[in-house]
Structure 1
Amino acid sequence: ACERCRWILTLLLLSAIAFDIIAVAGRGWLQSSDHVQTSSLWWRCCHEEDGCQSLREYAWGRAAAAMLFRGFSILVICFILSLFFVLCIPQILVFLRVIGSLLALAAVFQIISLVIYPVKYTQPSTFMPTPAVTYIYNWAYGFGWAATIIFIGYASFCCCLPS
């Protein structure tokens, strides 16, 4: 069964890379319920004249971006290793366990990023003009979670293979 799923697992990592790129570049992470504010990993924008404010001014904004990039860089390394596994050494299952362990680490980084961002962004003292405003998680934030779920699934599969 492992012989048949080698390419599928590599394609899953490729889709996780695409999801992470969409999450990093996407402008739809959070949106206020009154549709006045939208935000991405990098910017907070109001539909008024004041324009956009960089979230890199805040320590939590830098931390969320750094954690997401750490997870993404580990993902790219795992994708390269999985290509090497598929093309060169398909018989060594220990190699898959290394990829699975690295992806578990990447999933931890991504989860930290995907939790820090909304918790700090939606704190009453940060950007909420009134307590009545709530925030809606948008599509780009969902792509970040989709990539993280792929990480967790792939890591579980690789680490649970029989010897």
Structure 2
Amino acid sequence: MFRCGIAYPRCRWIVPLLLVFAIIFDIIAIAAQSGWVEDEDAKTHYASMWDQCRGRNDNWECKSLMEYSWAQAVAALMIIGLIILILAFILSVLAMCNLNIGMLPVVGILLIIVVIFQVIALIIYPVKFNELIFEGNYFYTWAYGFGWGATILCLGCAILFCCLPRYEDELSGNAKVKYIYSSA
């Protein structure tokens, strides 16, 4: 006889695991030394969240973006978002270990705050960076994409954490298993 169902007590760890990936993506986006912006051929100009470099071959001149207030705001919002994300991860692990279902919406609200901070930062950066450049075509590349990936993961996890209290009995193992499919 074959049965197919969801084991909620084991599946509850998927959402904190997704938060670990969001933390890793955020760290990659923040720490990247290149990869937020590149010119069309990636040969004469590239930039990270922290600085921009122009040049050719081995002759590169790098300049800090931190002299601009918008770049400082982007860095601050991304770092504050990462700190709140780490706090939300710790709270989610504590809530899942103790089955403190009441703490899950708090984690969801923290993640919504992270999403707001990071969306603002990820929108300010290209708008203001485009004001600095006057020639050619530029592409937003891998590290900038990791920033968006972390933000999207946080949004999805926020929705899940806000919905999880509806499944308190299933998460604690008190509910009867509802099989999706049974062959007998």
Report if TM-score (shorter chain) is over 0.5: yes
1:156 partner letter: I
Secondary structure of 1:136's match? strand
- The ranges of structure 1 where at least 4 consecutive aligned residues each deviate by more than 4 angstroms after the TM superposition are none
Tell me by how many angstroms 1:141 deviates. Answer: 0.3
The gaps in structure 1 that reach 5 residues or longer are none
Tell me by how many angstroms 1:158 deviates. Answer: 1.4
1:150 aligns with 2:156: no
1:41 aligns with 2:52: no
Partner of 1:120: 128
Partner of 2:73: 63
**Higher relative strand content:** 2
Secondary structure of 1:51's match? strand
Cα distance in 2, alignment partners of residues 143 and 93 from structure 1: 30
Residues 123-149 of structure 1 deviation map (CA, whole Å, 9 limit, x = unaligned):
2xx232x3xx12101000000000000
Residues 82-126 of structure 1 deviation map (CA, whole Å, 9 limit, x = unaligned):
121222x11x32211100010000000000000000110012xx2
The gaps in structure 2 that reach 5 residues or longer are 1-6, 168-184
Cα distance in 2, alignment partners of residues 2 and 114 from structure 1: 35
Partner of 2:144: 141
Tell me by how many angstroms 1:30 deviates. Answer: 0.5
Cα contact 2:15–2:160 (8 A) shared by 1: no
Identity fraction in percent: 45
RMSD: 1.5
Tell me by how many angstroms 1:8 deviates. Answer: 1.1
Pick from 4, 28, 37 the counterpart of residue 30 of structure 1: 37
Residues 91-102 of structure 1 aligned to structure 2 (within 5 Å): 92-102=100-110
Secondary structure of 2:139's match? strand
Partner of 1:80: 90
Count of paired positions: 156
1:31 partner letter: E
Cα distance in 1, alignment partners of residues 86 and 8 from structure 2: 22
The structure whose Rg is larger is 2
Tell me by how many angstroms 1:2 deviates. Answer: 4.5
Partner of 2:177: none
1:107 aligns with 2:143: no
